[in-house]
Structure 1
Amino acid sequence: MTRSLIVKPVPVPLPPSALVAVDRAIADLRRGGLIALTEDGVVTALVLAAEGATSEALKRLAEAAGAPPMVAMTGRRATVLGLASGQKTVLMAAESGLTSSHVLSLADPLDRRDPTPDLAPRPAPAWAEAAVALCKLARLLPAAVVAATDRPQPGLFTVGAEDLLAYQQNASRSLRRVAEARVPLEDAENARIVAFRPADGGIEHLAIVIGSPDRDAPVLTRLHSECFTGDLLGSLRCDCGDQLRGAIAQISQAGGGVLLYLAQEGRGIGLVNKLRAYELQDTGFDTLDANLQLGFDDDERVYLPAAEMLRLLGIRRVRLMTNNPAKVSGLAQHDIEVTERVPHIFPSNGHNEKYLRTKATRSGHLF
């Protein structure tokens, strides 16, 4: 007897306070607010997104902290600027003081001004890494203006540095099914969409369940990261739209399976940063080097959300449609068995040839 997939919603538990705190900090940071970071419950630093570093904001930060602002950035961005190498997170101070133009020149590769010449690196404590992680979670440039402080901050929202660093794992493990409906698709009329939401009410991921997959056998599965430009607009810069529609058709033709539509735009850097990367690519950088210029890793995606979604659907073994070995190892790392890698290849066009070539030669994709 075969077992069909589990697609009914289950009650959602109350969100852990740490998840809610991070979600609130993300919202405040995106609005240009100051955030107080704590370690073991004690305020250790104040954080402002580099993108919000106006002169007034820098003054407010310095006055609240009682210390001069510094810039926390990824080691990758610091390497590009020739300021440091071999470190995950770098703190940069300016002996003459930071201005908003200094901050933007350090954080944004599209800002053509050179950084201030009197920059000096400082040891980066754990809270500096957490400040950069917060900017990444907020889908902003991965750089923050920070100032160490031990002053109480009664007027600012506080969040634990350790909670920021653990957020992606904690949010992924808190995913719950919250809705599902039958949605006939052009290439798969027998399809249902199942929505998953983390306990803090954050960004939802979706599963497209096609046909009636048998959980007793490896399920044909595709992990697809959302791509607004390719999936919706038909962009020719990538092959995402072809892969999405092709996977739906292929799964339907095979009799059933699952496509996970993951909220990880631009390999996890967000739509705005992806557009920044596109602008850098138009100046000659390839996909990976554009991410490096921005200060991101080659691929910022995590596959724990996909693994949790599969478990909630009752799937433990998959035949994975992918050209990317990292997806195979990513699922295996989270105890989903990949019994077979199913190639998923589409022809290039005059606009995405370099993109696909970079995937093959530098990211290890198998075409």
Structure 2
Amino acid sequence: MITPETFEFDAVDDVVADVAAGKIVIVTDDADRENEGDLVMAAEKATAASVNFMAMHGRGLICVPISNGRAEQLGLKRMVAENREMYSTDFTVSVDAADGVTTGISAHDRARTIQVIANPISEPNDLVQPGHVFPLRAKDGGVLRRAGHTEAAVDLATMAGLQPAGVLCEILHDDGTMARLPELMRFRKKHGLRICTIQSLIAHRRVREKLVEREQIVKMPTDYGDFDLHLYRSKLDGSHHLALVKGTISPNKPTLVRVHSECLTGDVFASRRCDCGNQLHAALRQISEE
């Protein structure tokens, strides 16, 4: 069985550096998902030459993944009201640049449209609909919310310090079938491109990024003494998490920690169907005695 571990991939930092430099990279997803490799680059770095390369050598559909914020800024409505695509790829109505293009389909014209989409000061009137470029809306939270090429392209552009907009194109064989890992590795070697997996992007972000932010701290008197109640908000989905802290935590000493799964019926109503409430109280008691 061929797995990603069978092949040598580039470090995410090296891939990000190439994206920052305006180069095209290859991003692959899982074999049990789309099982494909896409050419990916930052939208603001797109040129007629890079669009032509994607069209000639990638052969797939050239799309422009963007953040939800950018889509709203440009007034890009979703292509359909009910998305029934297998992986819920979030297409908007296709567009062309309002100025600086002819028919809209040439490599130059599509590069111009991509540049307009990536420009942070562009407005809805700078685009016309329909057109020859297909924007895609990425999930907020990127690959940590949805492990797709759309999110990977936006994440790579953002990680490179660029606008939250990318360009992607699926890589096909000469006969029109999808290129799989062995072929992608040969393609990568032939054209001198870096390659990474979406899973490596997920792992990289989980290690490197702070995924929650603290919103508030209040004093919390309990039967087990006074605690500080910290309120955190997830940057991925906006959900809130609580942390009860007793005293001062020292990085040089081991800290007793209880990770408690929220259970409304057990924690609040003392349900006899579970022992969640008892576990919570036992943990607070033990922490207070430390």
TM norm structure 1: 0.40
TM norm structure 2: 0.49
* Bigger Rg, which one: 2
RCO (CA 8 Å, sep 6+): is it higher in 1 or 2?
A: 2
